[in-house]
Structure 1
Amino acid sequence: MKPFTAEVIRILKEIPEGYVVTYGQVARMAGSPRAARQVVRILHSMSRKYDLPWHRVVNAKGEIAVPDNDSRKLQRKLLEDEGVLFTEDGSIDLKPFKSFQ
């Protein structure tokens, strides 16, 4: 496993319940600020194997970016069950979550 991948997995496992981060935020924390798409790939291919909290990661606009409708609904439900609030337009206000480091 490449060091970046291992670091992304470590960071993802530390995201607390009720908290969200962006793909870019994880990439920056893992040492490669331009690797948000790589974070997406890691989540897609390794979430089950490493029991990653995939639902706690959203895009830079605070939107759920999962392509299929059923997965989007599941992600929203999981986040709401953890107390994450959505705005009227269906996004998440990321300001309260900026402090995750």
Structure 2
Amino acid sequence: MPALAGDFCAEVARVVRRVPRGRVVTYGQVALITGWPGRARMVGWALRILPEASQVPWHRVLNARGAISVRGIPLAEDIQRQLLLREGVRFNDSGQVDLERYRWNGRAGRG
């Protein structure tokens, strides 16, 4: 992996580790916080290649509509939903999370 890609992945992991239990963040929001606005897909790529033992709460990252957006990984959607439900995050009938209620603002604490 090129150094820049490794740096980006490390920065994505650092940001996502800061997201508190019971809060979510969007791929685009992580891209913005890392200094790579408009690179939401790169955030998804970085999360997908994380080692299993990384302890990064990848399940707290959703798409811009507040929906789960994992593709090509068997059972990942169910796992992500269950992890979020255990943290108190609720989904509407369309399978979306109310981002106004659950979105992390990027600062320390629950906000």
> What TM-score results when the alignment is normalised by the length of structure 2?
0.82
One of 102, 106, 110 as aligned partner of 1:100? 106
Segment drifting more, 36-45 vs 47-56: 47-56
Flag structure 2 segments of 5+ consecutive residues without an equivalent: none
Tell me the percent identity.
42
Assess, with a 3 A threshold, how the Cα gap between structure 1 residues 98 and 13 changes in structure 2: closer, same or farther.
closer
Q: Report the aligned-residue RMSD.
A: 1.6
Partner SS, residue 79 of structure 2: helix
Gaps of 5+ in 1: none
Aligned to 1:58: 62
Alpha-carbon separation, structure 2, partners of 1:18 and 1:99: 13
Alpha carbons of structure 1 residues 47 and 40: separation in structure 2 relative to 1, 3 Å: farther
TM-score by length of 1: 0.89
Question: How many residue pairs end up in the alignment?
Answer: 101
Asked if the contact 1:11–1:26 (Cα under 8 Å) also holds between the matched residues in 2, the reply is yes
Q: Which has the higher helix share?
A: 1
Q: Equivalent residue of 1:28, what SS?
A: helix
| Correspondence for 2:79 | 74
Q: SS in structure 2 opposite 1:60?
A: coil
